[in-house]
Amino acid sequence: MSDQKRIQDYGIKIGELPKGRLNKITDVEGVRVGHCTIDTEVSKTGVTVIIPSEANIFTNKLIAASYVLNGFGKSLGLVQVDELGSLESVIALTNTLNVGLVHDAVVEYMIDEGKKDEVEILSINPLIFECNDSYLNDIQLRAVKKEHVFEAIEAAEADFDEGDTGAGKGMSCHHLKGGIGSASRVVALDGQAFTVGVLVLSNHGRLKDLSIKGKNIGSRISEAIEAENHADKGSIISVIATDAPLDSRQLGRVCKRAGVGLARLGSYIGHGSGEIMFAFSTANVLKSQPGRETLDIRILNEDKLDAVFRAVAECEEEAVLNSMITAGKVTGVKGRSRESLKGFIHLL
């Protein structure tokens, strides 16, 4: 078990729904997360990989959807997801200028996995998401290589670290230290428990706008460290997983509710920010079945989506706070630094 102190350990309770066992996206059965961190004097970056299923995801596709709230981003793979409504690859998060290199590594990994099952992969749609960590990281070095992606995949587990790790190493959130954060909620539907989990890569927001539980702590922090307050820009990637039976259209609706969590924390979704949400469900597996013309799937009654909407909003809010509170102070390229939220949480 990770021994990191998360936002709940500071007495801050987000929302009303019960949490999953780990309070992470990996509470959805089969989901795992791995990191590889590059931490040198000039490189503060890395890669984080989400493994969505224990089975070969290419031959056992999952239903998926995306939503772009503000599209200042360089992600790969969203066009096909929006057209076909399915996920067929592992998901990788990294920095802006490393998207292409990470994409190549994921393609190679998926081809290798296909060979193990005697599946010839001639086309594949990897999902690669990014945020720009150039404030702390010499991004032009493009330090993330194939071996780092493979290392992150190999390290994938249920109880993963958060904060300034993996893709989150060089990220900033509300002009404090950001990075990887996660949370989960459990909802009851038809007497059955379903899990909703969120993982974020946070790199967005303005310090003065930061609010926690309705209290504008950002203004107080800004005064304490005499910080400049630039525009609300940057990006945040939000990956939502659930075992609730949702179709692609419903998952698209679910994606939009991540914006509620961001707004609660004070984000205004600025012109120069990229808010990209992606969601998948493990409830229906689209198995490769040559010759089969129909597939049997089940979906949630539309009237019962409110519980899932609330779960996503709560998870998003808590995941962002976890990304900040678990991160330490980081000093990177050109001597630039980002302070950790944990040093100011007493101001609430």
What positions carry a catalytic annotation? 235, 273, 275
Q: Which fold has domain 7-287+297-331?
A: L-amino peptidase D-ALA esterase/amidase (3.60.70)
Angle between helical axes of 146-154 and 99-116 (0-180°, round to 10): 50
265 and 78 in contact (C-beta within 8 Å)? no
Tell me which residue of 36, 170, 42, 8 sits closest to 92, measured CA to CA.
Answer: 36
Per-residue model confidence (pLDDT) at position 112: 97
Cα–chain-centroid distance for residue 107? Answer: 20
Q: What is the pLDDT of residue 44?
A: 98
pLDDT given at position 232: 72
Q: What is the DSSP string of 31-96?
A: -EEEEEEEESSS-EEEEEEEE--SS-TTTEEEEEEEEEEEE----BSHHHHHHH-EE-S-EEEEEG
pLDDT of 307 reads 96
Residue 224's pLDDT is: 87
In the predicted model, residues of the chain with pLDDT beneath 50 are 1
The owner of tokens 């802006």 is 96
Strands (E), 288-334: 330-331
Tens digit of each residue's pLDDT (9 = 90 or more) over 194-224: 999 999 999 999 999 999 999 999 999 998 8
Nearest CA-CA partner of 176 in 111, 140, 138, 222: 222
Q: Are the C-beta atoms of 179 and 323 separated by less than 8 Å?
A: yes
- Angle 303-308-309 from CA coordinates, rounded to 5°: 90
pLDDT of residue 288: 82
